[in-house]
């Protein structure tokens, strides 16, 4: 966690003035529910104690001046000339400004300093955290009267238009809307949501980062999405009311898809069953049954690996390795697939021992470092 004082001090050094507001917006994990978002299903994220910090103050001209601590880099542009740029990091901020201006927001020039401790490239949504921190900070700075859900939607559109990533709403929604000690059950069809207590007791959430990102990810994502849409079309011939896999049951897939295309059937069944696992996980949390939650995580990984086929040998190895320990209740790959992290439900007192045992074995097998990330569910975007 980065101290507010450090952010304040660095803003003073960089911009030779006082920040008027400091905002913290967290990264996120998803407990269960992968590849359900673009099928109008459910996801179960929560924010974590790793965040992006933004400090802002108004200027008396029309210039927007940015500084990113991670890159030790300035960027400057006139407010009236906002456009996507070649350098990557400013686009997440500029995209938010662009969306605010499209909504008629009256902005002036400002200085913005950004720093953070969300591990980059681990699938913890540092980009969404930056978008939401920016949106929230400008909302306060210019008194724009935006609702939290608006800030999440603006962040998503910024990612689509300026970063060129056609992401779902989960990352931004979790960053802005999370509540400490709870998971957020989000309905990706209508954005309705509810909070379920996440009481871990003697257990903790440990992420294990494979440090691998296979190039398969984007083409596989497009193929899976197409398979899901094809399955819905086959069902729709018999059930016109079916507009997404959210409206489809396993029985419908058995009757109308299985005999036509086994692969499409398997991919669609995974998504339908993943929504069921998510609901079972929520019930387990309400009952305080962490063992049942862990079973759903292991089962979700089997589905992602063998049915949806978005895992990889590194992810499968990590899940198989921890499965033998009674102190690990559950584990699965987290995110789109082909790399990134596994999420593990581990006895708190066993975490360090597990990391010490697993790290050399993984590194010897794959020739890659293994990064362990301990996370604590936390509040969403807030003014410090």
User: So which residues are the catalytic ones?
Assistant: 171
Q: Is 313 annotated as a binding residue?
A: no
CB 67, CB 114: distance < 8 Å: yes
Q: Is 378 annotated as a binding residue?
A: no
Q: Which two tokens stand for residue 231?
A: 């399955």
Q: Is 239 annotated as a binding residue?
A: no
Q: Is 199 annotated as a binding residue?
A: no
Separation of alpha carbons 66 and 86, rounded Å: 15
Q: Which two tokens stand for residue 329?
A: 């209740």
Give the closest residue to 297 by CA, choosing from 273, 329, 253. 329
Q: Which two tokens stand for residue 229?
A: 């849409």
Question: Across-strand partners of 269?
Answer: none
Q: Is 80 annotated as a binding residue?
A: no
Q: Is 124 annotated as a binding residue?
A: yes
The SS3 of residue 308 is coil
Q: Phi first, then psi: what are they for 74, rounded to 5°?
A: -95, 155
Q: Is 34 annotated as a binding residue?
A: yes
Q: Is 126 annotated as a binding residue?
A: yes
Pairing of strands 371-375, 21-30: unpaired
Q: Is 330 annotated as a binding residue?
A: no
Q: Is 301 annotated as a binding residue?
A: no
Residue with tokens 């608006």: 150
CB 241, CB 232: distance < 8 Å: no
Separation of alpha carbons 300 and 298, rounded Å: 5
Give the closest residue to 343 by CA, choosing from 67, 89, 253, 335. 335
Q: Is 35 annotated as a binding residue?
A: yes
Q: Is 67 annotated as a binding residue?
A: no
Question: Across-strand partners of 23?
Answer: 54, 383
State the DSSP string of 239-263.
Answer: -TT--SGGG--HHHHHHHTTTT-HH
Q: Is 244 annotated as a binding residue?
A: no
CA quadruple 318, 320, 321, 325: dihedral positive or negative? Answer: positive
> Binding site for ATP: what residues are annotated?
121-127
Binding residues: 34-37, 121-127, 159, 221
Known binding residues for substrate are 34-37, 221
């Amino acid at each position: 966690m980065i101290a507010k004082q450090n952010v304040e001090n660095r803003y003073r050094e960089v911009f030779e003035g006082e920040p008027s507001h400091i905002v913290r917006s967290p990264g996120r994990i998803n407990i269960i529910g992968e590849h359900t978002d673009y099928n109008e299903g459910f996801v179960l994220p929560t924010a974590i104690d790793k965040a992006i910090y933004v400090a802002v103050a108004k200027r008396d001209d029309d210039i927007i001046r940015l500084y990113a601590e991670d890159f030790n880099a300035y960027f400057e542009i006139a407010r009236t000339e906002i456009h996507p740029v070649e350098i990557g990091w400013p686009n997440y901020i500029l995209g938010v400004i662009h969306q605010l201006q499209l909504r008629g927001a009256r902005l002036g020039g400002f200085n913005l300093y950004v720093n953070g401790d969300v591990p980059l490239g681990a699938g913890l949504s540092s980009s969404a955290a930056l978008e939401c921190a920016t949106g929230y900070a400008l909302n306060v700075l210019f008194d724009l009267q935006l609702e939290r859900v608006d800030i999440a939607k603006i962040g998503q559109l910024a990612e689509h238009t300026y970063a060129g990533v056609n992401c779902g709403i989960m990352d931004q929604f979790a960053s802005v809307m999370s509540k400490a000690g709870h998971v957020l059950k989000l309905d990706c069809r209508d954005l309705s949501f509810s909070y379920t207590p996440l009481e871990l007791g003697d257990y903790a959430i440990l992420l294990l980062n494979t440090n691998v990102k296979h190039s398969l990810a984007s083409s596989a994502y497009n193929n899976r999405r197409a398979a899901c849409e094809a399955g819905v079309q086959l069902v729709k011939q018999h059930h016109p009311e079916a507009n997404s896999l959210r409206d489809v049951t396993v029985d419908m897939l058995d009757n109308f898809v299985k005999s036509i295309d086994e692969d499409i059937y398997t991919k669609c069944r995974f998504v339908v069953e993943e929504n069921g696992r998510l609901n079972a996980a929520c019930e387990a949390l309400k009952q305080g049954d962490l063992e049942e939650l862990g079973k759903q995580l292991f089962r979700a990984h089997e589905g992602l690996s063998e049915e949806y086929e978005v895992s990889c040998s590194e992810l499968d190895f990590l899940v198989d390795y921890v499965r033998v320990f009674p102190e690990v209740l559950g584990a699965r790959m987290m995110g789109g697939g082909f790399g990134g992290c596994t999420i593990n439900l581990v006895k708190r007192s066993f975490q360090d021992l597990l990391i010490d045992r697993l790290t050399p074995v993984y590194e010897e097998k794959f020739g890659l470092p293994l990064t362990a990330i301990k996370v604590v569910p936390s509040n969403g975007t807030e003014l410090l």
